[in-house]
Structure 1
Amino acid sequence: MSETTVNEPSPEADVVQRGSFALTVRRLRRDTASMAALCVILAVILLAIVAPWVAGITGHSPIEQFRETGLSPAGIPVGPGAEFWLGTDQLGRDVLVRLAYGARVSLLVGVFASMLASLIAVVVGTTAGYFGGTVDLVLSRLTDLVMSVPFLLCALALVSAFGPSLALSVVVIVFFSWAPMARVIRGQVISLRRQDFVLASRSLGAGPLSIMVVDILPNLAVPIIVYTTMQIPNSIVFEATLSFLGMGIVPPTPSWGGMLADASSNSLYLVAWWLIFVPGTALLMTTLAFNILGDGLRDALDPKSARTVRRLRRQPKAGTKP
């Protein structure tokens, strides 16, 4: 009588025991570009968190002007050195400290505005797609109206009426950000409301709000997460654009867009390259990192996407040599 091996693990055992979150993290960790982008984002977040510590180490506040040591006798900003690690600007202020505090503004506006825009888009898109009819017609025309309004023209009008501020920047960014996502959500809900699980919930007496929140919304998690992640760099660029044009953060509060505007005034960057290189590189790397991470999240959350399929096909099969 042949002996049988007891408790021999099945080849599929570890896969079966993994949840969807664990599988998503596993796919994301295999994406080198996404991991590099995540490191850049964490570095920017760390820079924003330790901004007061950076100011304490250097002994420079973000608005303090060093006319004697931060400017040359000809009034030219001092380049990177032992006292000012990334140089000074046209007023003798420390660029490193202003860069750290500017990261706080960019991340605050980017994350908060993106989340608020996504919330509005989910509410409008879900409501329009589920109810249809007159509700869909009104909300769809509202979405078209928002998307047809010129961004800069509206921003100029609002700033002229209320004056530049951080709150106004967030309002303008949210106003121009929610409409595209609302269209996507509406289309997804229209296809989901005809599914059997929605019809079953409706036949059991579930109300519209319960169906939208319990049955439909979980199936929209992937587009919501991906869109919100990829909307953050757009919000950061919007804020930088408004600050560059003098319609965003009020000076002397540091922001990356304001630093770029200061560098471009009087062509100062021709004699002080760091004034445009430092904030420009930070803005470029941050927005690029969020975009790459958004692509990686899309592929990790949706295993049927083309990139994920190609990556899995290149991996060696079980029982074969790599």
Structure 2
Amino acid sequence: MSAEVKQRGSFELTMRRLLADRAGLVALVFIVLLAAAALGADAIAALTGHSPVAQFLTTGLTPTGLPVPPSGEFLFGTDQLGRDVLVRLAYGARISLAIGVLASLTAAVIGITVGLVAGYFGGWIDVVLGRLMDLVMSIPVLLCMLSLVAVFGPSLPLSLAVIVFFSWTTMGRVIRGQVLSLKEREFVLASRSMGAGHLSIMVTDILPNLGAPIIIYTTMMVPTSIIFEATLSFLGLGIVPPAPSWGGMLAEAANNSIYMFAWWLVLFPGLALLFTTLSFNILGDALRDALDPASMRHKVQKKKKTAVGTAP
């Protein structure tokens, strides 16, 4: 009796490769836990009984007016105003993840659209859109943000708009290069010979073949957007206090050198930024290896050559 051969789909094989990557799995677990903490920020505030803006002037400050270190009541200590750092970190995670994901998705949609049109049509359209991407990349970010804040004032929508404006060009360049190679493939030429329109070819023939780079680069754009938002908030150009933001928390710790007496004000927001960006980058690498097995084989072969070369 012949054994039954089970055919695995590409999705199942991708998931198997992704789950076999231990670093990527750890990064994914951390991102899930961080998202749960961000979504459950209200529950954390209710459990501790501490609002993110509540100032505990008696229990949250020492008799000399300094923040109290981590304790049973304040697990991550308090800041210079007597506010619970743990609760503010949870609410800051909500803002950072929301901006990171929303800005990355919006920038990805714009970049995919521009790159798809530029790569497919070519000619003067490609030249105009290419120069547009060069123009956006040449604009000084901080100078632009300072000018906008001077006119409109710092706000969350303004930070989101600035991050999107300066982020879509990376995706646009990647997609344009992929489309340039795909539009001359046999399946595209066959669709064109059968009378398919330009929009139909771009959406039904070319776009599905761009799934891997879109997923990978969108994932890797999230940590960049988070760092972008934290930098703007640190410089006072992003989230308006007292709304908690990881960059704003670091800026408040830097004021009057309060971090010299309260190390936890720098440690916990800094670690949150570090592990979040690191996890998204590791997850992006894991997705690249899972969606493109050739890159994984290249890594394995490189390791084997290195091992052979260093063997006694």
Tell me the TM-score normalised to structure 2 length: 0.95
Structure 1 residue aligned with 2:282? 292
Structure 2 residue aligned with 1:101? 91
Asked if 1:174 corresponds to 2:174, the answer is no
SS in 1 for 2:96: helix
For residues 232-311 of structure 1, the aligned pairs below 5 Å read: 232-306=222-296, 310=300
Question: Counterpart of 2:77 in structure 1: which amino acid?
Answer: G
Return the match for 1:8 from 3, 6, 19: 3
SS in 2 for 1:269: helix
For residues 24-43 of structure 1, the aligned pairs below 5 Å read: 24-43=14-33
**Number of matched residues?**
304
CA distance in structure 2 between the partners assigned to 1:118 and 1:264 by the alignment: 34
- Residue by residue, what CA displacement relative to the aligned partner does 1:17-52 show, whole Å, maximum 9, x if unpaired? 111110000001111110111111111111111111
CA distance in structure 1 between the partners assigned to 2:198 and 2:29 by the alignment: 42
Query: What value does the CA root-mean-square deviation take over the aligned residues?
Result: 1.4
CA distance in structure 1 between the partners assigned to 2:67 and 2:139 by the alignment: 41
CA distance in structure 1 between the partners assigned to 2:228 and 2:214 by the alignment: 20
CA distance in structure 2 between the partners assigned to 1:47 and 1:238 by the alignment: 21
Return the match for 1:90 from 68, 80, 90: 80
Question: Counterpart of 1:152 in structure 2: which amino acid?
Answer: L
Question: Counterpart of 2:270 in structure 1: which amino acid?
Answer: G
For residues 224-235 of structure 1, the aligned pairs below 5 Å read: 224-235=214-225
- Partners of 1:71 and 1:78 within 8 A in 2: yes
Question: Counterpart of 2:264 in structure 1: which amino acid?
Answer: W
- Partners of 1:230 and 1:291 within 8 A in 2: yes
Asked if 1:69 corresponds to 2:64, the answer is no
- Partners of 1:303 and 1:309 within 8 A in 2: no
Q: Report the Cα offset of residue 155 of structure 1.
A: 1.1
Asked if 1:60 corresponds to 2:59, the answer is no
Distance change >3 Å, CA 113–CA 90, structure 1 → 2: same
Q: Report the Cα offset of residue 7 of structure 1.
A: 3.6
CA distance in structure 1 between the partners assigned to 2:9 and 2:303 by the alignment: 22
Asked if 1:189 corresponds to 2:184, the answer is no
Structure 2 residue aligned with 1:165? 155
Structure 2 residue aligned with 1:206? 196
Structure 2 residue aligned with 1:113? 103
Runs of 4+ in 1 over 3 A off after TM superposition: 306-309, 311-314
Question: Counterpart of 1:8 in structure 2: which amino acid?
Answer: A
CA distance in structure 1 between the partners assigned to 2:278 and 2:205 by the alignment: 34
Distance change >3 Å, CA 311–CA 111, structure 1 → 2: farther
CA distance in structure 1 between the partners assigned to 2:207 and 2:284 by the alignment: 20
Distance change >3 Å, CA 146–CA 270, structure 1 → 2: same
Tell me the TM-score normalised to structure 1 length: 0.92
CA distance in structure 2 between the partners assigned to 1:157 and 1:117 by the alignment: 22
CA distance in structure 2 between the partners assigned to 1:313 and 1:23 by the alignment: 23
CA distance in structure 1 between the partners assigned to 2:121 and 2:39 by the alignment: 44
- Partners of 1:256 and 1:283 within 8 A in 2: yes
SS in 1 for 2:293: coil
- Partners of 1:300 and 1:308 within 8 A in 2: no
- Residue by residue, what CA displacement relative to the aligned partner does 1:98-140 show, whole Å, maximum 9, x if unpaired? 0000000000000000000000000000000111111111101
Q: Compare CA radii of gyration and give the structure with the larger one.
A: 1
Q: Report the Cα offset of residue 8 of structure 1.
A: 2.4
SS in 2 for 1:246: coil
Q: Report the Cα offset of residue 306 of structure 1.
A: 4.3
Structure 2 residue aligned with 1:20? 10
